[in-house]
Structure 1
Amino acid sequence: MRITFLGHAGFVVETAGALVVMDPWLSPQGAFDSAWMQLPRNHHLAPRVRELLETPGRERFLYVSHEHKDHFDPEFLATVVRRDFTVVVPKFKRSELQDFFAKYGCKRVIACEDSREVPIKGGYLKLFVSEQGTNRDSSVMVRAEGQCFLNLNDCKLHDRLVRLIAEEGPVDVFSAQFSGAIWHPTCYEYPRETYSAIARKKRDSKFEAVARALESVQPRGYLASAGPAAFLDPALFPLNFEDVNIFPRAPDLFAFLEKRLPDAPTRYLEPMPGDVLDAGTLEFVSQVPERVTTENFRDYLHTYAKDLAHVFRERRRNLMREEVEEILGRLRVELQLKLDRLDLHERVGMPLYVELTEAPKRLLRVDFKLRRVDEVPAVRDTTRYTMKVGASDIVRVLDRKLNWEDFLLSFRLRLSRNPDVYEPVLHGFLGVEVEDLREFCDGIRATESQKERTVVEAGGKRFSIQRFCPHQGADLSEGWVEEGRYVVCPRHRWQFDLHRGGACKTNHSSLCAEPLADKPERVSDSVPPQLPR
């Protein structure tokens, strides 16, 4: 088995009888309205990937893990002429991927439920699907020729990895996301010290998730992928050079892993786009000459930004006052449509203010309790959430050139909240499409309906807690305990304080923790959360 790295989360897995192309993100326009660009650049690989997909002789498969445009690249896929290959996608409730490929004209489309196995010559590929709230993702395993590659990419399967490996057997090469991919704290108006503290905590939490995944999977080799993007828009360019943020590079991860797992047998590999790895020997069959290093990183980014400066010149647009007024009116209608479908609106205890930067005295105030959107001249609530956006950016959402989540991931907005507490319903209101909001609310209710409990030991005491995380339903029996009191969710690393009844440190949710008597008593058959190893 040979594995070619395509950049970001993209791979080509080749065996004697089959070829699997995974998440090829190759378009020179990048993703999320060009806010994210591939790092290192990989656009030169597009002709090679097209050739692989179009050349007969072996079974050919295209796998797309989820809808985010740094994994699902319609612009590149449109350039593939001969499409007599099989597309494999996860079967989500939201059918965007299936709908796209149903019209794509390929040989066939296989929409996979969780753990579905797809035969290939000499082996199989298998998808593991995760769908909770606004998060839809999948990972893929390829097993052939006596070797196995597990590509987790962005998929948060950390609460399933122990069971997955027990069922599927040993993994030779493993890959998993190690960099952030969210707009918090990147887009929030924090003082610098607060911003750095939050970013550092999130970065270290992501690194810890990779470390624990490696402990569970115990692969012979780990390929660093799904790392940071390059931010080449002049307004975003400083993100590349912040001392601390949620976008670390592979050398930072490896330094952490070497301290965290000093005796681990796993080899840590940082491929460049175009490098080819032999999964059996863990040696690179070929490596490209251009390498991005800590020493040349700054110069590399400046050259990259200069080469693609035309992309950002072309997207700039000055709007007339009448256009701004029209966009403001359309945005108000869109927010009201969202509000009308938000069944859990009464849970949001603060208003949302939306401001167009071109109209700072005409704010839209979303009142969740009263379920109405009004225009107001200024922020009048101390407890509130605010979003500032440019009319020329948000109109791309209203014109359906971007969906709401893609817009949030473009980082072309500024946010603030008081108090600084994560509110999942408000978060969903912003990021979920109008037609998906009722299903989003149903998902929250379904998570909350899970009442099974388990037992955890912490600080020499035993506690009965809810087994499933109230955030998105992760199995806390695969979590762990920190500082003798905090139960940590394995999926998003939320912390729940056992000394405060299981209260969450991120928002107001709780595990409803109850101390148990010293004498052992059976609460459930669940496995207690793992202690740090």
Structure 2
Amino acid sequence: MRITFLGHAGFAVETAGALVVMDPWLTPQGAFDSAWMQLPRNHHLAPRVREMLETPGKERFLYISHEHKDHFDPEFLATLARRDFTVLVPKFKRAELQELFAKYGCKRVIACEDSREVPIKGGYIKLFVSEQGTNRDSGVMVRGDGQCFLNINDCKMHDRLARVIAEEGAIDVFTAQFSGAIWHPTCYEYPRETYAEISRKKRDSKFEAVSRALDAVQPRAYLAAAGPAAFLDPALYALNFEDVNIFPRAPALFSFLEKRLPDAPTRYLEPMPGDVLDAGTLEFVSQVPERVTADNFQAYLETYAKDMAHLFEERRRALPREEVEAILSRLHVELQRKLDLLDLHDRVGMPLYVELTEAPTRLLRVDFKHRRVEEVPELRDTTRYAMKVGAGDIVRVLDRKLNWEDFLLSFRLRLSRNPDVYEPVLHGFLGVEVEDIREFCDGIRATEARKERTVVEAGGKRFSIQRFCPHQGADLSEGWVEEGRYVVCPRHRWLFDLHNEGACKTNNASLCAEPLLDKPEHGRKDRGGDKVPADMPPVDKAPVEPPRA
């Protein structure tokens, strides 16, 4: 088995019987309205990947993990002339990927249910599907030539990795996202010290998730992929050089892992786009000459930004007043349409203010309680959530050139909230498409309906808790305990305080924890001396808010 790194989360896996191209993101326009650019740049690999997919011989597969545009690249895929390959996509409730590829004209499209095997000569491909409401993603495994590659990219399947390995056996090469990919705290108006502290906790939380995944999988090698993007828009460029943020590069992860897992058998590898790894020997068959290092990073970004400057020149255009007014009116209608469908509106305890930077005295106030959107001249609520955005950026959502989540991931907005508490329904209201609002609400109710309980031991005491996280249903029996009192969700690392009835430190969610009177005779001690069950080891890190996919 040979694994070619295509950049970001992209791979081409070649066995004696098949070729599997995974999540090729190669377009020179980047993703999320060009806010994210591939790092290192990989556009030169497009002809090579086209040749892979268009050359007859072995059975060829294109795998797309989910809809996010740093994984699903319609611009590149449109350039493929010969399409006699098979497309593998996860079978989500929303069939967008299936429908798009049904029109694409390929050999066939296989929409895979969770854990479905697709046979290939000498092995198989298997997809792992994760779907919680409107949060959709998947991972993929390729087994062939006596080796196995497991790629979970951004997929939040950490709470099931131990079971996957128990069922599937040894993994040679493993990869999982290690860098942040969310607008919190990136787009929030925090003091510098607060921003740095939140970022540090989230970064370490992501690193901890990777370390726990490695501990569960025990691969022979880990490939650092799905790392940070390059931010080349002048308005975002400073993100590349912040002392602390949620976009660390691979050397920072490796330093963490060497301390966290000092005896791990895993080799940590940082490939460059175009490098080819032999999964049997774990040696690179070939490596590209250009390497991005700590020493040349700044110069590399400066050259990259100059080469891509043309993508951002049009954004400097000032819009005439009548155009701004038309955009404001359209945004008013869009927000009201969303609100009309949000039947969990009564759970949101604060209004949302939306301000166009070109119209600072004409704010849109979303009143969730009374289910109406009104125009007001200024902020009039102390308790509030607020978003500030340029008319030229938000109109791309209204024109359906971007969806709402793509817009949020473009980072071209400023956000604030008081109190600084994560509100899931309001967060979903912002990020979900109009047509997905009802599904979003149904997903929340379905998660809340799961009442199965489990027992956790912390601080020498036992507690009965809800087994599934109220956020997105992660199995907390695969979580762990911090500081002798906090249950940590393995998927998004939310903390639930067992000394406060299982209340979440991030928002008002709860595990309805109840202390048990009987004291067990068996258990294992964590690093702080507290007994925990075998499937809930301890950790010392905690996040502030859940990351995206």
TM-score (norm 1): 0.98
2 CA distance for matches of 1:210 and 1:290?
27
The one-letter code matched in structure 2 to 1:504 is: C
Which of 314-323 and 244-253 deviates more? 314-323
SS at the partner of 2:284? strand
Kindly indicate whether the alpha-carbon contact (under 8 Å) linking 1:454 and 1:528 is maintained by their aligned counterparts in 2: no
CA distance in 1, matches of 2:278, 2:534: 39
Q: Secondary structure at the match of 1:159?
A: helix
Aligned to 1:355: 355
CA contact (8 A) 2:26 2:46 kept: yes
2:528 — aligned with what?
Answer: none
Specify the SS of the correspondent of 2:101.
helix
Alignment of 1:74-223 (within 5 A): 74-223=74-223
Contact 1:457–1:528 (Cα < 8 Å) also in 2: no
Question: Does the 8 A contact of 2:141 with 2:148 survive in 1?
Answer: yes
Distance in 2 (alpha carbons) for counterparts of 1:506 and 1:99: 37
Q: Which residue of 2 aligns with 1:428?
A: 428
Letter in 1 for 2:484: G
Q: Name which of structure 1's ranges 213-222 and 305-314 shifts more when overlaid on structure 2.
A: 305-314
| Corresponding position: 1:265 with 2:265 | yes
Distance 2:534 2:115 in 1: 25
Compute the displacement of 1:145 (Å): 1.0
User: Is 1:531 matched up with 2:537?
Assistant: yes
Instruction: Kindly provide the amino acid, as one letter, of the partner of residue 166 in structure 2.
Output: A
Aligned counterparts of 1:57 and 1:478: Cα–Cα separation in 2: 43
Q: Which amino acid aligns with 2:400?
A: R
| Cα displacement (A) at 1:520 | 5.1
Matches within 5 A, 1:260-409: 260-409=260-409
Deviation at 1:529, TM superposition (A): 4.6
Q: Is the 8 A contact 1:456 1:528 kept in 2?
A: no
Distance across 1 between alignment mates of 2:520 and 2:289 = 62
Per the TM alignment, residue 134 of structure 1 is displaced from its structure 2 partner at its CA by: 3.2
Work out the CA distance in 1 between the residues paired with 2:132 and 2:492.
Answer: 12
1:506 corresponds in structure 2 to 506
Equivalent residues of 1:348, 1:368 under 8 A apart? yes
Query: Which position in structure 2 is the counterpart of 1:524?
Result: none
- Residues 528/220 of structure 1: CA separation in 2 closer, same or farther (3 Å cut): closer
- In 1: Cα distance, 2:519 partner to 2:444 partner: 36
1:44 aligns with 2:44: yes
Please give the per-residue CA displacement for 1:409-430, whole angstroms capped at 9, x wherever unaligned: 0000000000000000000000
Identity among equivalent pairs (%): 86
Aligned partner of 2:251: which letter?
A: P
Q: Report if aligned partners of 2:482, 2:488 keep a CA contact under 8 Å in 1.
A: yes
Deviations 1:329-364 (A, max 9, x none): 000000000000101000001000000000000000
Shift of 1:518: 2.6
Q: Report the aligned-residue RMSD.
A: 1.2
Superposed CA deviations along residues 89-145 of structure 1, whole A, max 9, x for unmatched, are 001112221111011000000001111111111111000000113321000000011
- Matches of 1:520 and 1:261, distance apart in 2: 29
- The residue that corresponds to 1:35 in the other structure is 35
CA contact (8 A) 1:367 1:373 kept: yes
* 116-125 or 184-193: bigger deviation: 116-125
C-alpha separation in 2, matches of 1:331 and 1:288: 47
- Asked if the contact 1:134–1:431 (Cα under 8 Å) also holds between the matched residues in 2, the reply is no
Structure 2: distance between partners of 1:106 and 1:386:
45
Structure 2: distance between partners of 1:412 and 1:96: 26
Q: Aligned AA for 1:463?
A: F
Unaligned runs of 5+ in 1: 522-526
Q: Please list the CA deviations of residues 138-160 of structure 1 after superposition, one character each: whole Å capped at 9, or x if unmatched.
A: 00000011100000100010100
Question: 2:380 is paired with a residue of what secondary structure?
Answer: coil
Letter of the 2:88 counterpart: V
Counterparts of 2:94 and 2:198, CA distance in 1: 32
Partner of 2:225: 225
Paired position in structure 2 for 1:486: 486
Instruction: Write the letter of the residue equivalent to 1:241.
Output: F
* 1:300, distance to aligned residue in structure 2 (A): 0.5
Alpha-carbon distance, 1:318 to partner = 2.1
- Which amino acid is the alignment partner of residue 10 of structure 1? G
Q: Distance in 2 between matches of 1:26 and 1:334?
A: 32
Q: Is the 8 A contact 2:462 2:519 kept in 1?
A: no
1:453 partner letter: R
Which whole-Å CA distance do the structure 2 matches of 1:245 and 1:404 have between them?
A: 23
State how far apart, in whole Å, the 2-side matches of 1:251 and 1:10 are: 20
Q: Distance in 2 between matches of 1:199 and 1:256?
A: 16
1: distance between equivalents of 2:440 and 2:356? 27
What residue number does 1:65 align with? 65
1:176 & 1:109 partners in 2: Cα distance?
Answer: 25
8 Å Cα contact 1:477-1:528 kept in structure 2: no
Query: Following TM superposition, by how much is the alpha carbon of 1:528 offset from its aligned partner in structure 2, in angstroms?
Result: 6.9
SS of aligned partner of 2:339: helix
Report 1:247-266 matches (<5 A). Answer: 247-266=247-266
1: distance between equivalents of 2:451 and 2:50? 49
Shift of 1:315: 4.1
| 3-state SS in 1 of match to 2:256 | helix
Distance between the aligned counterparts of 1:5 and 1:315, measured in 2? 33
With the length of structure 2 as denominator, give the TM-score of the two structures: 0.95
The alignment of Structure 1 onto Structure 2 pairs a total of residues equal to: 529
On the 8 A contact 2:461/2:519 being kept in 1, the answer is no
State how far apart, in whole Å, the 2-side matches of 1:448 and 1:316 are.
Answer: 46
Paired with 2:117 and 2:357, the residues of 1 have a C-alpha distance of: 50
Report the secondary structure of 2:312's partner residue. Answer: helix
CA distance in 2, matches of 1:341, 1:12: 42
For residues 221-270 of structure 1, give each alpha carbon's deviation from its aligned partner in whole angstroms, at most 9, with x where no partner exists: 00000000000000000000000000000000000000000000000000
Find the aligned partners of 1:99 and 1:394 in 2 and give their Cα distance.
Answer: 27
Letter in 1 for 2:538: P
Q: C-alpha distance in 2, partners of 1:493/1:191?
A: 24
1:443 aligns with 2:449: no
SS in 2 for 1:248: coil
2:530 is aligned to none
> Given that residues 89 and 109 in structure 1 are in contact (C-alpha distance below 8 angstroms), is that contact kept between their aligned partners in structure 2?
yes
**Contact persistence 1:364–1:375 (CA under 8 A):** yes
Q: Residues of 2 paired with 1:301 and 1:350: CA distance? A: 41
